[in-house]
Amino acid sequence: MKINGNTIRPGMVIEHQDRLWRAVKIQHTQPGKGGAYLQVELKDLQSGSKLNQRFRSSETVERATLEQNDYQYLFADGDMYTFMHMENYEQIELSINDIGEDQVLFLQENMKVIVESHDDTPLGVKLPKTVILEVTEADAVVKGQTASSSYKPALLENGIRTQVPPFIAAGTRIVVNTEDASYVERAKD
């Protein structure tokens, strides 16, 4: 499917230079002279190499058609992660490079995920928007610091550091956004 160059978003998979690329970062730029363009950092899904590419709004790119299937995360064995198809119970293994180092930290046993594939080759995993994690360490609140909306650093059970409100203490379960590891709310369980 052809799309305009300025509609590329992070996570989108496109066909460029006869290869499949995932957009990692994007930046809109409007120079004083000339037309606006989109600076996109692309990651090759086969080799893992990166490429910085400019796309103008007048250019079109081919968006790759991906199959999305429901899978359940089972377990990790070294750098390989095993997932089971929710309908036919087939198991597949993906490497840490296929999933992404930042996303692997959020995987939890029996978590339901979406595995994206192209021509029956798994390309990556889409995590749920949020996960529930326990705070293992949280700094003490400094008295008088509550006049403004202040946040304090906290360490989560998966090793990620994030900022939490002052009332969150160690042992509290919180909801965390999987895209940027930000605090959403206290877990309701």
Neighbours of 133 (CB within 10 A): 22
Of 186, 188, 181, 183, the residue nearest 150 (C-alpha)? 183
Q: Where are the domains of the chain?
A: 2-63, 67-126, 130-186
Same fold, 67-126 and 130-186: yes
Please answer whether residues 10 and 25 qualify as being in contact, where contact means their C-beta atoms are separated by less than 8 angstroms.
Answer: yes
The domain made up of 67-126 has a fold known as OB fold (Dihydrolipoamide Acetyltransferase, E2P) (2.40.50)
Longest dimension (CA), the chain: 59
The domain made up of 130-186 has a fold known as OB fold (Dihydrolipoamide Acetyltransferase, E2P) (2.40.50)
Position 142 scores a pLDDT of: 67
CA–CA dist 47, 39 (Å, integer): 21
Coil/strand/helix, residue 12: coil
The domain made up of 2-63 has a fold known as SH3 type barrels. (2.30.30)
The predicted model scores a pTM of: 0.74
Per-residue pLDDT of the chain (189 residues; tens, 9 = 90+): 888 888 888 878 899 988 888 888 889 888 888 888 899 999 888 787 899 999 988 889 999 888 999 999 999 998 899 999 999 999 999 988 778 788 888 999 999 999 988 888 888 888 999 999 999 998 877 666 555 568 889 999 999 999 999 888 999 999 999 888 899 999 987
Phi and psi based region of residue 73 (left: phi greater than 0; alpha: psi -120 to 50; beta: remaining): beta
